Amino acid sequence: MKWLILMMAWVIAMPLWGADFETELTGIQQRWAEIQYQLPEAKQEKAFAGLATDLEAFVARHNDRAEPLIWQGIVLSTYAGAKGGLGALGLVKDARKSLEAALAIDADALDGSAYTSLGSLYYQVPGWPLAFGDDDKARDYLQTALAMNPEGIDANYFFGDFLLEQGEPERAKAYFRKVLQAPARPGRSLADAGRREQARKRLEAN
């Protein structure tokens, strides 16, 4: 009887553990959006550094899950953008490692977000010998992300931004318009609003 009671307690506790993971993941996503879209640029580097430290612990606690690694990659890459200069190169290399590790665990996690983030890294970072930038790899990753999530707000935004970098503004506009029409993501209203505003500015400028 005792083992049965223990088994029942374990089954009852399972949803709570899952809820804890989802709650923590949602908190990280929200903090990233607040830093990225609401904090003054002068304060972003320090804030991203703190969030990156928190991600290390989150990844360690859930080392069998792809989602923490994806967000580690996202945070490290945006931290690198806020930091700038040669000091950011180590951060983007670490971001790539996290995203590749996420793909090895579950390529479908978060609607293929690891492909989107890797693609954005490959066209935004310098090429050899400074870093690993590669437009062909960027295109492959971004197109894979779009194939997995054709209506996704980030997948469309970054492919549009990539096309601008490639000198294809007319093609890019179609993807930025899709960003404005993309379905809302539950719990991601701040990030969605920020990404749509970025897309509007790209459309107005081109």
pLDDT at residue number 191: 96
Please state, for a pLDDT cut of 90, what percent of the chain lies above it. Answer: 84
Residue 6 pLDDT greater than 90, yes or no: no
pLDDT at residue number 22: 93
Q: What is the mean pLDDT of residues 15-30?
A: 78
User: Which residue type, as a one-letter code, is found at position 5?
Assistant: I
Could you give the domains of the chain? 19-205 (1.25.40.10)
Q: Are 66 and 92 in contact (CB under 8 A)?
A: no
Residue 13 pLDDT greater than 60, yes or no: no
Rg value, the chain, Cα: 18
Residue 204 pLDDT greater than 50, yes or no: yes
Q: How confident is the model at residue 18 (pLDDT cuts 50, 70, 90)?
A: very low
Q: What is the mean pLDDT of residues 16-31?
A: 81
Q: Write down the pTM of the prediction.
A: 0.88
pLDDT tens, position by position, 63-118: 999 999 999 999 999 999 999 888 899 999 999 999 999 999 999 999 999 999 99
Tokens describing residue 121: 């890294």
pLDDT at residue number 129: 85
- C-alpha 28/C-alpha 58 separation (Å) is 10
Residue 5 pLDDT greater than 80, yes or no: no
Residue-wise DSSP of 77-109:
HHHHHHH-SGGGHHHHHHHHHHHHHHHHH-TTH
Residue 122 pLDDT greater than 70, yes or no: yes
